Structure 1
Amino acid sequence: MKPVLMTLAVVAGLSMAGGAAVAASCSDSGNGYDGWKAEIAAEAAAQGVGAKGIAALMGTSYSRETIAADRNQKSFKYSLEKFMQLRGADTIIKQGRGHKAKNAAFFAAVERQYGVPAGVLIAIHGMETAFGGFMGNTRIVAAISTLTYDCRRSDFFHPHMMAALILVDRGSISAETVGAKHGEWGHTQFLPGNALKYGVDGDGNGRVDLNNRVDALTSTANFLRQKGWQPGQGYQKGQPNYAVLKDWNAASVYQEAISIMGARIDG
């Protein structure tokens, strides 16, 4: 299992040289997007992004669906009870126990290597994509480029956009690869920069493919371990690993839901 070599720190370095230009060129409406793409293409090329990545960027269109989704994130404001009901927690727990039983050897191997128990990984998998049932229908490069051009969080998404172009160069994704509305990729919904930094070739075929369940779950375990997960320690509120869940998702209701579902799946 070999992690991807390009780290987000390197990707962030790619973005720094053009940071001022990006900050000066953003829009709340999408006007001027084509001109902005030319700015970013020049910056990316100067930092070593290849022809495939540049072509993917230049082929994007401003994604109004992505902007609408970014403006309308309501579920994280709900109570824990309502959030879990809306996200289908009981179904995730029931199906999750089945997934754990059916793939016991895999989850045991992942826990031995990374220290992350099956329940947490399965709860995240169920929460994010209904166990791969729906991994999104928005083109990743277009979504992440749109969010970088949008003025709200341009600085946050800029390194992820550069990472997406690198992923295209490497053949990990293409301009047509689809994911979630914010450009997340795969079974557990990694942003591109996190895919570069924490992605693991879990099935040993020589490439990281987060649309592959084994790669995605192994990468999720690696992410949590790298963020400070302590093997053998608990992950409920007040326990050492609970704080690590914040690195996966900043919403407190999400963290609490994962901790509860994970414990019920683990039995």
Structure 2
Amino acid sequence: MRLPLLSALFCACLSAPVIAAPCGNTSAGFAAWKNDFASEAKRAGVKKPGLQALANAQYASRTISADRNQKSFRYTLEKFMEIRGSSTIVAQGRRRKARNPEFYAALERKYGVPAGVLIAIHGMETAFGHFMGDSQIVPAITTLAYDCRRSEFFVPHAIGALKLVDQGAITPATRGAKHGELGHTQFLPGNALKYGVDWGGDGRVDFYDMADALASTANYLRKKGWKKGKGYQPGELNYTVLKEWNAATVYQQSLAIMGAGIDR
């Protein structure tokens, strides 16, 4: 039996998917996109502080420039390791492990990830916390969510950043990398929200605290499939998990080499 026209239209409206805020490739549409995205964020559970941070976010031109000029995927392994200072990371990494062996042993007992991997990530991402970024996280990640090139990938991380503001884990002014990564090991906000660990037990996950950040990194790798006691060199079981941390093959190879050097 056919439904009356009005009833059919009503049912269609109920079943129609919610239309996402339209993306753009210049700053011109960013303000309008934010207004649309605010509704999407609110439906996802973002509260007033996060929505206010979104409203105040400015289009991040430096982030778009960086996104268009990524070079890591084009380097040879040798060049990548030279640029990243692999020998320095390994040398300093060994000293860091020797200064605090129980901390790294405790992480490995709980998550199964050896010290070398975590220390190598820490060294490569922020030079052991010496430079954690100079871009405001909320503008950076919302700009990438708006930008058409990889909007679908960054939208969940933009929602994550706004929720982190709600929780007080970051503020609208907190700075990180140009792609919105934050803290000692440069978590994308959605991953920070999902995998963050309060290692210090103070009731707050702080990615700018080394212990919380490294525990969160170990937790992330475990949740992505890391198996305790298994190897992480190319061809070994845990090497595939390194791809979950960074998509660049040279990064994965460097991490395996440096991690083994630190744990030697």
What is the TM-score with the length of structure 2 in the denominator? 0.92
2:201 corresponding residue in structure 1: 204
On the 8 A contact 1:30/1:150 being kept in 2, the answer is no
Deviation (angstroms), 1:29: 1.3
Distance 1:47 1:226 in 2: 23
Distance 1:45 1:222 in 2: 28
On the 8 A contact 1:49/1:166 being kept in 2, the answer is yes
Distance 2:43 2:229 in 1: 46
1:21 corresponding residue in structure 2: 20
On the 8 A contact 2:72/2:250 being kept in 1, the answer is no
1:229 corresponding residue in structure 2: 226
The partner residue of 2:87 within 87, 90, 94 is: 90
- The aligned runs of 1:149-160 (5 Å cut-off) are 149-160=146-157
Are 1:116 and 2:139 matched, yes or no?
no
On the 8 A contact 2:23/2:147 being kept in 1, the answer is yes
On the 8 A contact 1:51/1:169 being kept in 2, the answer is yes
Q: Which runs of 5+ in 2 are unaligned?
A: 1-16
Distance 2:238 2:79 in 1: 24
Are 1:146 and 2:157 matched, yes or no?
no
Are 1:161 and 2:158 matched, yes or no?
yes
Q: Which amino acid aligns with 1:21?
A: A
Distance 1:27 1:47 in 2: 22
Are 1:264 and 2:261 matched, yes or no?
yes
Distance 1:124 1:170 in 2: 26
Deviation (angstroms), 1:31: 1.0
Are 1:39 and 2:45 matched, yes or no?
no
Could you report, residue by residue, the CA deviation over 1:9-51 in whole angstroms, capped at 9, with x for unpaired residues?
xxxxxxxx65x322xx211112111111111112222333111
2:13 corresponding residue in structure 1: none
The partner residue of 1:215 within 212, 215, 232 is: 212
Could you report, residue by residue, the CA deviation over 1:40-66 in whole angstroms, capped at 9, with x for unpaired residues?
112222333111000000001000000
Distance 2:223 2:67 in 1: 28
Could you report, residue by residue, the CA deviation over 1:65-103 in whole angstroms, capped at 9, with x for unpaired residues?
000000010122111000000000011001000110011
2:46 corresponding residue in structure 1: 49
Identical amino acids, percent of aligned pairs: 62
Are 1:132 and 2:132 matched, yes or no?
no
The partner residue of 1:77 within 63, 71, 74 is: 74
| 1:194 counterpart SS class | helix
Distance 2:210 2:128 in 1: 9
Deviation (angstroms), 1:184: 0.3
Q: Which runs of 5+ in 1 are unaligned?
A: 1-16
1:175 corresponding residue in structure 2: 172
Could you report, residue by residue, the CA deviation over 1:138-176 in whole angstroms, capped at 9, with x for unpaired residues?
010100000011000001000110111111011111100
| 2:27 counterpart SS class | coil
| 1:31 counterpart SS class | helix
Q: Which amino acid aligns with 1:134?
A: F
The partner residue of 1:239 within 197, 215, 236 is: 236
Distance 1:48 1:175 in 2: 18
Kindly name which structure, 1 or 2, has the bigger radius of gyration based on alpha carbons. 2
Q: CA RMSD in A?
A: 1.0
Q: Which runs of 4+ in 1 moved over 3 A?
A: none
| 2:28 counterpart SS class | coil
Are 1:193 and 2:209 matched, yes or no?
no
